[in-house]
């Protein structure tokens, strides 16, 4: 049983910053922040879970079965992630590409200390607490001076895109592309050939940007990334030496009672500082036949996945191809709902729909095989999901995109970007879309006090 205490906050925004700063002392941190983005299905403005009372960490072998046992045995709040490579547990697939990050395939923990924020209300729920521990922590958090970034956010600069560049000390300080632009274009052409042959209709093709021997100030980088993007599914995750700094705008799957909600994103356009031009860009995105076709194909895939676990005739498309605006980009989002069939465990709802269609393609298994062939890097946590289970089995998970991944043991930093390739794709335009999606992560890293290690 958790001990619960509720407080009314005078300045919720300031307290959120103090709370995240306070959390940095713990070995396990899961910070989920909606950034007060207006959405129909959000239950909390922010959640913080720190300190592992129990945990599960495993590779993909029987990973969903192990998670189901852990969730049903614990019957408490648990936080963690599903890596993309759990596809190998769901289907007969493999992941053989280069992995510089070395994250476990699945990691969840039961937090000792849990904070739930909604409006000006804060709930603190603790396990195995000492006398007055909640009140002492609350007072300590309130007394913290907020850490403010002193470096201004700079304008865009070109990415280094040649993976064969000599690794001098100077080049170590740059973010490098795993593949060159020329290689990217050739790989997209190969994917188009698969589409023309009829093997797939659509596939999400991604590329990695990385730096080695890099030491970064993770709290400051996350602050910058979140400030640049302000997304509804921002995440700071620390599990031992593994870190995720995410500015994700996308929900993968949410369960509330028997209702399931999935909100795939397909379709991206830039923002403009000119209000009239910005409205025009959003309208053009909403009418773009290529972007609409990408989105509709993934909606069909999600409907098919949900139908495996849903009550008959309960799968509905509540919203199709609606354009939402974020700080950096406009996005085309659809909303699909379903009623979970009786007797199906919560974890099975995840297993039956994983990986999410927006990050794979259609048909799903063929797309994942071609992705593995053409991509150079193991995806790992990128294009996986981070979220939580509540004690009654409800859950909410994002899609890990627009994210920086970091291994503090080997000082490897990485972010990946990609897009949907369809028969109507232009390789040059797909590459430009990748660079657009990379802007926030690159700027956050450039403006941090990160440096190469000698």
Q: Could you tell me if 250 and 402 are in contact, meaning their C-beta atoms sit under 8 angstroms apart?
A: no
Around Cβ 431, how many Cβ atoms within 10 Å?
17
- Residue 389: phi, psi to the nearest 5? -110, 140
The DSSP line for 150-185 is -SPPPPP-PPB--TTS---HHHHTS-EESS-HHHHH
Question: What distances in angstroms separate CA 179 from CA 116, 165, 221, one per listed residue?
Answer: 42, 11, 25
Active site residue 369: no
Residue 356 backbone zone (phi > 0: left; psi -120 to 50: alpha; other: beta): beta
Cα(208)–Cα(286) distance, integer angstroms: 28
Report pLDDT digits (tens) over 177-215. Answer: 999 999 999 999 999 999 999 999 999 999 999 999 999
pLDDT at 453: 37
CA atoms within 13 A on the CB side of 56: 24
Q: Could you tell me if 284 and 323 are in contact, meaning their C-beta atoms sit under 8 angstroms apart?
A: no
Cα(150)–Cα(449) distance, integer angstroms: 10
Tell whether 420 is covered by a domain.
Answer: yes
Tell whether 39 is covered by a domain.
Answer: yes
- Residue 151: phi, psi to the nearest 5? -85, 130
pLDDT at 233: 97
Cα(148)–Cα(151) distance, integer angstroms: 9
Q: Which of 250, 375, 433, 446 is catalytic?
A: 250
Tell whether 155 is covered by a domain.
Answer: no
Cα(54)–Cα(316) distance, integer angstroms: 37
Q: What is the pLDDT along the chain (454 residues), one digit of tens a residue?
A: 899 999 999 999 999 999 999 999 999 999 999 999 987 888 999 999 999 999 999 999 999 999 999 999 999 999 999 999 999 999 999 999 999 999 999 999 999 999 999 999 999 999 988 889 999 999 999 999 865 443 433 333 334 444 433 333 433 468 999 999 999 999 999 999 999 999 999 999 999 999 999 999 999 999 999 999 999 999 999 999 999 999 999 999 999 999 999 999 999 999 999 999 999 999 999 999 999 999 999 999 999 999 999 999 999 999 999 999 999 899 999 999 999 999 999 999 999 999 999 999 999 999 999 999 999 999 999 999 999 999 999 999 999 999 999 999 999 999 999 999 999 999 999 999 999 999 999 999 987 644 443 2
pLDDT at 211: 95
Query: In this structure, what token pair is assigned to residue 10?
Result: 């005078």
Tell whether 190 is covered by a domain.
Answer: yes
Tell whether 166 is covered by a domain.
Answer: no
Question: What distances in angstroms separate CA 322 from CA 165, 332, 336, 453, one per listed residue?
Answer: 42, 5, 12, 45
Q: CB burial class (10 A; 0-12, 13-18, 19+) of residue 319? A: middle
Domains identified in the chain, total number: 1
Q: What is the DSSP letter of 145?
A: P
pLDDT at 448: 64
Buried/exposed code over 112-121 (b: 16+ C-beta within 10 A; e: otherwise): bbbbbbeeee
Residue 279 domain boundaries: 3-144+178-452
Q: CB burial class (10 A; 0-12, 13-18, 19+) of residue 36? A: middle
Query: In this structure, what token pair is assigned to residue 300?
Result: 């069909």
Tell whether 161 is covered by a domain.
Answer: no
Query: 313 preceded by cis ω (within 30°)?
Result: no
Active site residue 250: yes
pLDDT at 288: 94
Q: Could you tell me if 123 and 5 are in contact, meaning their C-beta atoms sit under 8 angstroms apart?
A: yes
Tell whether 230 is covered by a domain.
Answer: yes
CATH number of the domain where residue 97 is located: 3.60.120.10
Q: Could you tell me if 194 and 372 are in contact, meaning their C-beta atoms sit under 8 angstroms apart?
A: no
CA-based angle 83:178:98, to the nearest 5?
45
Tell whether 163 is covered by a domain.
Answer: no
Q: Which of 266, 364, 378, 437 is catalytic?
A: 266
């Amino acid at each position: 049983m958790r001990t619960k205490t509720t407080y009314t906050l005078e300045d919720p925004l300031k307290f959120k910053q103090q709370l995240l700063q306070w959390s940095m002392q713990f070995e396990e941190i899961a910070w989920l922040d909606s950034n007060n983005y207006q959405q129909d299905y959000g239950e909390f403005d922010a959640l913080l879970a720190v300190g592992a009372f129990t945990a599960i960490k495993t590779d993909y072998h029987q990973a969903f079965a192990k998670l189901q046992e852990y969730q049903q045995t614990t019957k408490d709040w648990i936080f963690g992630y599903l890596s993309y490579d759990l596809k190998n547990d769901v289907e007969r697939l493999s992941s053989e590409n280069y992995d510089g990050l070395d994250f476990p395939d699945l990691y969840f923990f039961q937090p000792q200390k849990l904070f739930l924020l909604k409006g000006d209300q804060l709930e603190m729920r603790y396990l195995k607490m000492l006398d007055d521990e909640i009140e002492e922590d609350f007072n300590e958090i309130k007394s913290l001076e907020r850490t403010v970034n002193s470096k201004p956010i700079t304008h865009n600069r070109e990415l280094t895109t040649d993976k064969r560049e000599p690794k001098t000390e100077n080049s170590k300080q740059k973010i490098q592309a795993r593949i060159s632009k020329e290689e990217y274009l050739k790989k997209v052409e190969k994917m188009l050939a698969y589409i023309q042959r009829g093997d797939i209709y659509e596939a999400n093709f991604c590329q990695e940007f990385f730096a080695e021997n890099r030491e970064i100030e993770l709290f400051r980088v996350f602050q910058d990334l979140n400030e640049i993007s302000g997304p509804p599914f921002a995440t700071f995750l620390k599990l031992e030496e593994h870190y995720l700094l995410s500015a994700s705008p996308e929900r993968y799957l949410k369960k509330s009672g028997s209702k399931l909600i999935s909100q795939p994103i397909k379709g991206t356009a830039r923002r403009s500082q000119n209000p009239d031009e910005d409205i025009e860009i959003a309208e053009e995105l909403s009418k773009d036949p290529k972007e609409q076709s990408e989105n509709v194909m993934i909606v069909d895939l999600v409907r098919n996945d949900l139908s495996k676990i849903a009550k008959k005739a309960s799968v509905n498309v509540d919203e199709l191809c609606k354009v939402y605006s974020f700080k950096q980009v406009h996005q085309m989002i659809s909303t699909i709902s379903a009623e979970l069939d009786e007797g199906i465990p919560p974890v099975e709802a995840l297993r039956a729909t994983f990986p999410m269609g927006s990050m794979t393609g259609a048909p799903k298994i063929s797309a994942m095989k071609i992705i593995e062939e053409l991509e150079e890097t193991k995806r790992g946590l990128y294009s996986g999901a981070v979220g939580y289970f509540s004690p009654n089995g409800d859950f909410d998970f994002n899609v890990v995109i627009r994210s920086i991944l970091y291994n503090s043991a080997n000082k490897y930093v990485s972010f990946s970007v990609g897009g949907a390739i369809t028969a109507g794709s232009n390789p040059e335009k797909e590459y430009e879309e990748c660079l657009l999606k990379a802007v926030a992560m690159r700027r956050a890293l450039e403006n941090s006090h990160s440096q190469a290690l000698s």
